[in-house]
A and B are shown apart, each in its own frame.
Chain A
């Protein structure tokens, strides 16, 4: 018996090797099974109310998720029920909901189901449930706008911004090495090193700001204006980054200059790429308008309460993207039959390889998707009667105190 097959195929390689896809299958199945066994043990402690809630949550996941698949939208929205259970009944119940949702989805002849695709993402769904429970316990669904714990979320947001800024600085100075198929070991080491440095900066920024600028006492008068400011800054950064990505002098539109006849039939859209400094002013202007609208919105009533909810959704989305990318790349080259396929195809035409396209698609879809899901869950929780919410073990984490 030879063990030549025990090497992973490089991209395009054929012959005696194990395709990465099969490794992904095996890894996904093993992780899901281990999680499932662990949760089955924990499930002995679930109350009857929790066990009655989980099927309803699974049905919500499948109903909304298959609707989105039918509409071919580039998001998923198949974890609303998972986040809801995580919030009401704790992380382990949330993880069980997520894993069972995807496994059952794979078995039922509804859109997006009746095939192995959903089942392979069961570990991702499980982790989403765990994170929802974690964030609910940290109070994302019940913080008032004068709560001292808001400081933690502001510090976390500052950390994410710090990571993004350091990423941009490194890219502009020493450059981020690409991770193509022909990567040398040296490039890989440099890639890992830059990743570690960016993470370290994020942690340091979050830790320092938590203890200095965002160290609030209860009912601190600074919390509300800070929240409003953070909402505005986030809106500005998001819109500025998006417009820059598409309209900048080296942005997406500038790459479509008709030189590559295989994309969009050699269409020339490079005139849409605005030159600096006029373009910079236009992009900053659009972002400022959006930020001003965000300030007006956040000052009204308790609207700023959405900020922690969005931070929870955003971070869950980032983690989900990181876990799902290898699975998506392994399963059918990133094609899953949903509306996200168009996004993967777009990134592939831009010259990224399978894994990079899947990861880029995840980073585009997942944070947005989870932020929407958390917002929907927040609204549902607000509309549910108190007597229903308090039936569950973590129900008190959803009642504003």
Chain B
């Protein structure tokens, strides 16, 4: 079985070497700034995020990942541009519909916020090993039970796709027709999805026994097998990020930038 690295992309950039907690705080800072500060500063935040993402050497992978939110972004811009309620300033008339200035600006701002937060999250996911993140969270007092749930859920999605692939092969070998008319494909759905769902649910029993045999439910404290690096520079970086979050909130509340 392939190693469960999730979405982690191997690398050795400066961002890869940061402690996961530091990066998590950085994500929080970027998200707060994106959604709390007025939209005028959005391009600035976007440029900083792009610069950081590019410096990790994963620029191409991140750009390739952009096709996932493309539909959402287009949808936000188009629906708001055409159907913004109460909008009067018509820019372009496209047959029966027309693009309004208010709708277009609302749509672009919303889409920009989604785009920036997507870039931040993908950069974080690509440069951080999920095991490291949860190990350092548990070391800082997070519940190991919740950590297990989150980590195995993240790893379960690709595993389920793998299982679906092998069940597809197995059913085809038994003569199941999976192509053809819509009705035929719909009929093939139950013998494909049924075993995937029931199989993974029945696996829960085996996993429970395996966990119990390794003392998962045991009460006394536990020691860590993995040691996550925490360079001294990270401590200062974390302090700076925390100050940044406070600064952003104060800036947003004082309303300096909104007039």
List the B residue with the shortest CB-CB distance to A103: B150
With most chain A CB atoms within 10 A of its CB, the pick from B82, B197, B211, B253 is B197
Q: How far is the CA of A265 from the CA of B211 in the complex (A)?
A: 62
The answer to whether A332 and B208 have CB atoms under 8 Å apart is no
The answer to whether A117 and B114 have CB atoms under 8 Å apart is yes
The answer to whether A53 and B204 have CB atoms under 8 Å apart is yes
Residues on A with C-beta less than 8 A from B118 are: 114-115
List the B residue with the shortest CB-CB distance to A47: B217
Q: How far is the CA of A25 from the CA of B80 in the complex (A)?
A: 19
Q: How far is the CA of A54 from the CA of B201 in the complex (A)?
A: 10
Known contacts A12-B87, A49-B208, A104-B150; A332 and B80 CB within 8 A of each other: yes
The answer to whether B216 and A48 have CB atoms under 8 Å apart is yes
The answer to whether A56 and B122 have CB atoms under 8 Å apart is no
Task: From B36, B79, B207, give the contact of A345 (CB < 8 A).
Answer: B79
What is the number of residues of chain A that contact chain B, defined by CB distance less than 8 Å? 71
Residues on B with C-beta less than 8 A from A349 are: 83
Q: How far is the CA of A349 from the CA of B118 in the complex (A)?
A: 30
Task: From B68, B159, B200, B258, give the contact of A109 (CB < 8 A).
Answer: B68
Task: From A116, A335, A353, A380, give the contact of B198 (CB < 8 A).
Answer: A380
The answer to whether A388 and B204 have CB atoms under 8 Å apart is yes
List the A residue with the shortest CB-CB distance to B31: A116
The answer to whether A262 and B97 have CB atoms under 8 Å apart is yes
Stretch at the interface among B42-50, B70-78, B170-178: B70-78
Residues on A with C-beta less than 8 A from B3 are: none
Main secondary structure of the interface of A (DSSP, over half): helix
A residues 38-67 in Cβ contact with B at 8 Å: 40, 43-44, 46-49, 51-56, 58-60, 62-63
The answer to whether A263 and B194 have CB atoms under 8 Å apart is no
The answer to whether A384 and B201 have CB atoms under 8 Å apart is yes
Q: How far is the CA of A139 from the CA of B37 in the complex (A)?
A: 49
The answer to whether A55 and B83 have CB atoms under 8 Å apart is no
Stretch at the interface among A1-9, A240-248, A284-292, A367-375: A1-9
The answer to whether B204 and A333 have CB atoms under 8 Å apart is no
Stretch at the interface among B11-19, B140-148, B221-229, B231-239: B140-148
List the A residue with the shortest CB-CB distance to B35: A25
The answer to whether A383 and B198 have CB atoms under 8 Å apart is yes
The answer to whether A388 and B205 have CB atoms under 8 Å apart is yes
Residues on B with C-beta less than 8 A from A4 are: 255
With most chain A CB atoms within 10 A of its CB, the pick from B65, B71, B204, B205 is B204
Q: How far is the CA of A49 from the CA of B217 in the complex (A)?
A: 10
Q: How far is the CA of A116 from the CA of B113 in the complex (A)?
A: 9
The answer to whether B255 and A262 have CB atoms under 8 Å apart is no
Known contacts A22-B36, A55-B153, A265-B95; A107 and B204 CB within 8 A of each other: no
**B: interface residue count bin:** 35 or more
List the B residue with the shortest CB-CB distance to A265: B96
The answer to whether B125 and A107 have CB atoms under 8 Å apart is yes
A363 on interface, CB distance cutoff 8 Å: no
Residues on A with C-beta less than 8 A from B146 are: 40, 43
A344 on interface, CB distance cutoff 8 Å: yes
1/0 contact trace for A315-339 toward B, CB 8 Å? 0000000000000000011111100
The answer to whether B208 and A109 have CB atoms under 8 Å apart is no
A181 on interface, CB distance cutoff 8 Å: yes
A237 on interface, CB distance cutoff 8 Å: no
Known contacts A43-B146, A107-B125, A391-B205; A59 and B153 CB within 8 A of each other: yes
The answer to whether A54 and B143 have CB atoms under 8 Å apart is no
1/0 contact trace for B30-65 toward A, CB 8 Å? 010001100000000000000000000000000001
The answer to whether B149 and A51 have CB atoms under 8 Å apart is yes
Known contacts A332-B76, A337-B72, A354-B85; A58 and B208 CB within 8 A of each other: no
List the B residue with the shortest CB-CB distance to A2: B255
B154 on interface, CB distance cutoff 8 Å: yes
Q: How far is the CA of A391 from the CA of B75 in the complex (A)?
A: 44
Q: Chain B's nearest CB lies how many Å from the CB of A265?
A: 5
Q: How far is the CA of A342 from the CA of B257 in the complex (A)?
A: 35
Q: Chain A's nearest CB lies how many Å from the CB of B121?
A: 6
Q: How far is the CA of A100 from the CA of B152 in the complex (A)?
A: 12
The answer to whether A109 and B157 have CB atoms under 8 Å apart is no
List the A residue with the shortest CB-CB distance to B130: A107
Residues on B with C-beta less than 8 A from A108 are: 7, 125, 154, 157
Q: How far is the CA of A109 from the CA of B119 in the complex (A)?
A: 11
Task: From B84, B107, B145, B198, give the contact of A43 (CB < 8 A).
Answer: B145
Residues on A with C-beta less than 8 A from B117 are: 115-116
B106 on interface, CB distance cutoff 8 Å: yes
A residues 83-132 in Cβ contact with B at 8 Å: 84, 96, 100-101, 104, 106-111, 113-117
Q: How far is the CA of A305 from the CA of B117 in the complex (A)?
A: 46
A residues 247-279 in Cβ contact with B at 8 Å: 261-266
The answer to whether B69 and A114 have CB atoms under 8 Å apart is yes
The answer to whether B145 and A117 have CB atoms under 8 Å apart is no
The answer to whether A16 and B153 have CB atoms under 8 Å apart is no
A to B CB contacts below 8 Å, 7 in the list = A16-B258, A51-B211, A100-B153, A115-B72, A345-B82, A349-B83, A383-B194
Additional A-B contacts beyond A16-B255, A264-B96 (5; CB < 8 A):
A11-B85, A62-B157, A266-B96, A353-B85, A388-B202
